[in-house]
Chain A
Amino acid sequence: MKYLLIILAFVVPKTISAQNCTYTFIGEISDFHDATPIVGATVHIENLDKYVVSDINGKFKIENLCEGNLNLTISHVACDTKSVSFSINSDTYETILLEHHIEDLEEVTINGKTVKENTNSGQETIIKSQDIYKYNTLSLGDALKEVPGVSSINTGSTIVKPVINGLHSSRLIVLNNNVRLQDQDWGIEHAPNIDINSADQISVIKGSGTLAYGGDAIGGIIVVNPNRVIVKDTLYGKTSINGYSNGRGFLINSSLNKSFKSGWFANVQGSFKKSGDLKSPDYYLTNTGLNSKGITLRAGKKSFESGFEAYYSYLNSEIGILRASHIGNINDLINAINSNQPLVAEDFSYDINNPKQDVTHQIFKANYYKRFKNFGKIDIQYDYQENQRFEYDIRVGDDRDKPALDLNLTTHTLTSNILLDAKNNFEHNAGVLFRFQDNFANPDTGVRRLIPDYEKYDFGAYFTTNWNVNSNLSLDAGIRYDYNFINAYKYYKTSRWEERNYDQEFNDLIIDDLGTQLLVNPEFTFHNISLSAGAKYNLNSNSYINGQYSLTTRPPNPSELFSDGLHHSAARIELGDLRIKQEVSNRISSTYNYSKNKFQLNIEGFYNHINNFIYLKPTGVEFTIRGAFPVWEYQTTNVALYGLGLAVNYQLNDRFSITNKSSFTKGNDLSDNQDLIDIPPINISNQIKYFNSDLNNLSISLKSEWVLEQTDYPNFNFETLNPTTNQNVLVDISTPPSAYHLLHFDSNVDFKITENSRLNLAFGVSNLLDTKYRSYLNRLRFFADDVGRNFTLKIQYNY
């Protein structure tokens, strides 16, 4: 239509020679959303260079118009300026719709930057790009620790999984550019496959109140977004070169963004990272190198009324696993624990040998949205993900270079969301999800499958609503239903099938008997209901409180159902259970936030009661030709998790500010009346920061990180016979390591190169005092100290 009018604009005046200037144009300007009249909009009549203003009914009148084309530019203080043109050959009446909410409704402005918030009453913390940049040589899990109540469970310091309020892995949802990651997240050694360098903004939502993203996020949701598209003619980008001493690593990251006023845009981003063996204060951590490369491509068209985007991301990470952590049996574990230092510690090397992981994750996504006047917005998205995970073990003979684990997980997801925001005080969202997932465990590994081949079908539907009751009170509520169907094919050893007593209940699942093995075809159907309700109340202009209740249902993951065998790095036999049902969480949370001039305070509390909580519990010992192994079974119990998080910031004067962030989490197994394992200890961080905008934005900060000893833990220690000494030895796998205190230094300065380009230099030292420590939530704490001092130098050029 628009193009036609432009053509008309050229054609019409030439063909019509007789000027007839008696026509009247009446326009009515109204809001796109709810059709309310827009009062006081300025209308510029370009042909005549005259101005009129819309009246109380949103109407305006232009008289004595000649036949031909009429070009109008309409502007209003709260709206996007709009240009329209009409062809005039009689008296004309037209309605002109203006977009009254320029910021995308769900986007609010914080410190002059638009930040997208996902919840009304939930506990959401946003990490902005400059804070993400501090962690660009590390991982997503490290950056998230900026948020009180978020910690990490590590395998060494390169595999970092976020822990929100004491929960991790399948209990969290990770969204990357609105695609829910499907990357074998059940494994503690499986870090989320996200290149932190592709993230511009990360949002952490504790608990599951945001039902649009999924109904099973008992712990919380991590929303990672790339940079926002700016609708104007621009070309910008940045390139950073980073070097760090510990691991002798480097990272190169570069991105380029092109966008047009018409809404078309394209982005490309790529990163390459390489590091060698890390070093603890006393020794090198042999085989802890890392190579990773990632690329993201994005293009599309964005306008208020409609838009689409195509997105592709590729990330490959090759990660060495500490050589000394590879053990064969319990006595090796005892030797490792008792020796106090790794049994293999060689000189520095960039080589990544076995054991190692090599994981490739690819995402393709396409989405389209369209707004309808007086209605809202419809969004439709398709995404495809492929996760290829190889894990290499130390093996002999011809199998030396063969992966011990080769899992290929492909996922197709189709989602659609309808946003209804025509009524000013209400915002409703409704949506559906269809997902198909296929897991293929390659038998060529020569190692029994850790998790079996399966196909999974998911369907979800939800409805959420936000009601702004008045300027101080807003309410939200949501309901979601999810259906999961899993169709698996698994080989069980006949002896295991009988030991699990499956022959009493599940013999009808057997489809083939190979003598010592049984092929079974378990099918599972789960119906899950999730609910949430909450309120946010502004006490005054400086403070608010909010509260939320959520009910979440999470179906068991493949490892909880199917695990069956020796977990080498833990020297234990792990057994799933086909009888496990969903876990159900009831969580309440509340936040108090105060923010005035120099002082900001945020206090969060939560209580999470989980019925049928699925966890690993030691139940006995089994003997093999390698010796005796403790058996850990997936069982269910009822638990309560609760905790507090605190963030305080105080601006001492123009230059100095201090920040404190503290968190406390507690977990109780209510059935066994004991503490829960792997609950993060109390963590207190204090930071003093100097900032001078007159001196090239110079910022210098010193941060103290104090992690207390976890004194609340279950005692899962056991005794085993040491054949060398012929005595029983206590295997202390439970006692948490001592408290530790680390100091980190950070500095940052900007130099303006040209009008549009800027050079940023950053220098930092983490673990400034080269403190020796081990962390309770690091699975390699039995084998080696954590990493020591690390100098980082970064140069970033923004253009």
Chain B
Amino acid sequence: MKTLKHLSYLLIASLIFVSCSDDDDNNNIPDPVNEEEVITTVTATLTPAGGGTVVTLQSQDLDGDGPDAPVITISGNLAANTTYSGSLDLLNETESPAESITEEIEEEALEHQFFFDVSNDLFSVAYNDMDADGNPIGLDFIVTTDATTGTEAFTITLRHEPSKDAAGVSAGDITNAGGETDVEVTFNVTVQ
């Protein structure tokens, strides 16, 4: 008798569990994820100091780490012997309206730094902003071209939590920066 009683308890328990699991069939369609912190778009706007044509460099990858490669758009060529004031704007366009990553970087400037790499030294890049410790951020920068013309691979890298105090880092040398790379985009820019 006792056995039967125990067995019947288990049977009831199992029935409850089986019936529970069938109840919520229609409620289990999951919500989509609002992807945060994804950087889809990096736009560098270069405005010539004495007036002239503004040059924009844009890398846009709307599917994030999906299979599509970023689309690079360069509005035009840089002029020789010109000083440009540059600014960067970063967006997450998977959200609507697009979320500004630039604002987050400004808020956490101590933990972010951009690095500009100009492999052929066709022009020079200098920081034009600083964080609370007096170290550069790189959202604003100055590009100076000289008389040399040609094509340049211009790479913009954003590091999160770099060692800003390490040797050469505040001068823009990425070698000792450490941290994680959040953005690494290369624009093939022509100076003429």
Residues of A within 8 A of B (CB): 306, 308, 326-329, 331-332, 335, 343-344, 366, 368, 370, 380, 382, 394-397, 399, 412, 414, 434, 436, 438, 441, 443, 445-449, 452-453, 455, 489, 491, 493-496, 499, 511, 514, 516-517, 519, 565-566, 573, 622-627, 629, 723-724, 726
Contact = CB atoms under 8 A, between A and B. Distances in A.
B23 to A, nearest CB: 12
Interface in B35-90: 35-37, 39-42, 59, 61-70
Contacts of A434: 14, 18
A626 B156 CA distance: 10
Contacts, number: 160
B153 A726 contact: yes
Given A436-B21, A443-B31, A491-B33, A397 B39 contact: no
B163 to A, nearest CB: 8
Contacts of B32: 443, 491, 514, 517, 519
Contacts of B59: 625
Nearest to B39: A625
Given A331-B181, A397-B107, A443-B31, A624 B65 contact: yes
B30 interface: yes
B65 A327 contact: no
Nearest to A323: B161
B13 interface: yes
A446 B33 contact: yes
A394 B180 contact: yes
B18 to A, nearest CB: 8
A396 B174 contact: no
Given A436-B17, A436-B21, A399 B37 contact: yes
B171 interface: no
A397 B175 CA distance: 26
Contacts of A626: 39, 65, 181-184
Contacts of A455: 21, 28
A397 B3 contact: no
A366 B39 CA distance: 50
A493 B155 contact: no
Contacts of B117: 723-724
Contacts of A343: 178
A493 B184 contact: no
Interface-central residue, B13, B63, B108, B175, by most chain A CB under 10 Å: B63
A443 B69 CA distance: 26
A567 to B, nearest CB: 10
A732 B68 CA distance: 26
Contacts of B129: none
B30 A496 contact: no
B31 A516 contact: no
B65 A397 contact: no
22 contacts: A331-B184, A380-B10, A382-B14, A394-B161, A397-B37, A414-B14, A443-B34, A446-B33, A446-B34, A447-B37, A448-B35, A449-B30, A493-B66, A495-B63, A495-B67, A496-B66, A514-B32, A624-B61, A625-B70, A724-B174, A726-B119, A726-B153
B181 A443 contact: no
B67 A496 contact: yes
A624 B64 contact: yes
Interface string B154-180: 010101110000000000001100111
Contact of A382 (B10, B36, B161, B182): B10
A724 B65 contact: no
Contact of B94 (A414, A436, A516): A516
A155 B119 CA distance: 37
A516 B65 CA distance: 13
Interface of B: 2-3, 6-7, 10, 13-14, 17-18, 21, 28-37, 39-42, 59, 61-70, 94, 104-105, 107-108, 111, 117, 119, 153, 155, 157, 159-161, 174-175, 178-186
Task: Give the top 8 A-B pairs by smallest Cβ distance, nearest first.
Answer: A328-B180, A446-B36, A328-B181, A499-B67, A627-B184, A723-B155, A623-B69, A726-B119
Contacts of B69: 622-624
Nearest to A343: B178
A137 B131 CA distance: 45
A774 B2 CA distance: 59
A441 B10 contact: no
B10 A368 contact: yes
B21 A329 contact: no
A396, A443, A516, most chain B CB atoms within 10 A: A396
A395 B2 CA distance: 58
Given A443-B31, A565-B65, A412 B21 contact: yes
A412 B19 CA distance: 12
B181 A573 contact: no
Interface centre among A453, A493, A494, A495 (most CB of B within 10 A): A493
A493 B63 contact: yes
B33 A449 contact: yes
Contacts of A331: 181, 184
Given A329-B184, A625-B42, A394 B160 contact: yes
Contacts of B186: 723
Contacts of B21: 412, 436, 438, 455
B173 to A, nearest CB: 9
B26 to A, nearest CB: 12
Contacts of A397: 37, 104, 107-108
B62 A519 contact: no
A724 B176 CA distance: 12
Given A399-B36, A489-B29, 9 more contacts: A327-B180, A394-B160, A399-B37, A436-B18, A436-B21, A443-B33, A495-B68, A622-B65, A629-B65
Given A306-B3, A455-B28, A624 B161 contact: no
A625 B14 contact: no
Contacts of A366: 10
A489 B26 CA distance: 12
Nearest to B69: A623
Contacts of A335: 178
Nearest to B99: A397
Contacts of B65: 565-566, 573, 622, 624, 626, 629
A412 B61 contact: no
Given A396-B160, A489-B28, A724 B175 contact: yes
Given A326-B180, A370-B3, A625-B59, A495 B66 contact: yes
A519 to B, nearest CB: 7
B139 to A, nearest CB: 14
Contacts of B37: 395-397, 399, 446-447
Contacts of A496: 63, 66-67
Find the residue from B31, B33, B63, B94 having the highest chain A CB count within 10 A: B33
B67 A622 contact: yes
A625 B155 CA distance: 12
A499 B66 CA distance: 9
Contacts of A328: 159-160, 179-182
A399 B37 CA distance: 8
A396 B111 contact: yes
B166 to A, nearest CB: 10
B33 A625 contact: no
A789 to B, nearest CB: 28
A438 B174 CA distance: 46
A549 to B, nearest CB: 35
Contacts of B28: 453, 455, 489
Contacts of A493: 63-64, 66
B8 to A, nearest CB: 11
A566 B38 CA distance: 12
A495 B107 CA distance: 33
Nearest to A511: B29
Given A493-B66, A622-B67, A625-B59, A446 B35 contact: yes
Nearest to A490: B30
A219 B40 CA distance: 42
Contacts of B179: 328
Contacts of A724: 117, 155, 174-175
A625 B40 contact: yes
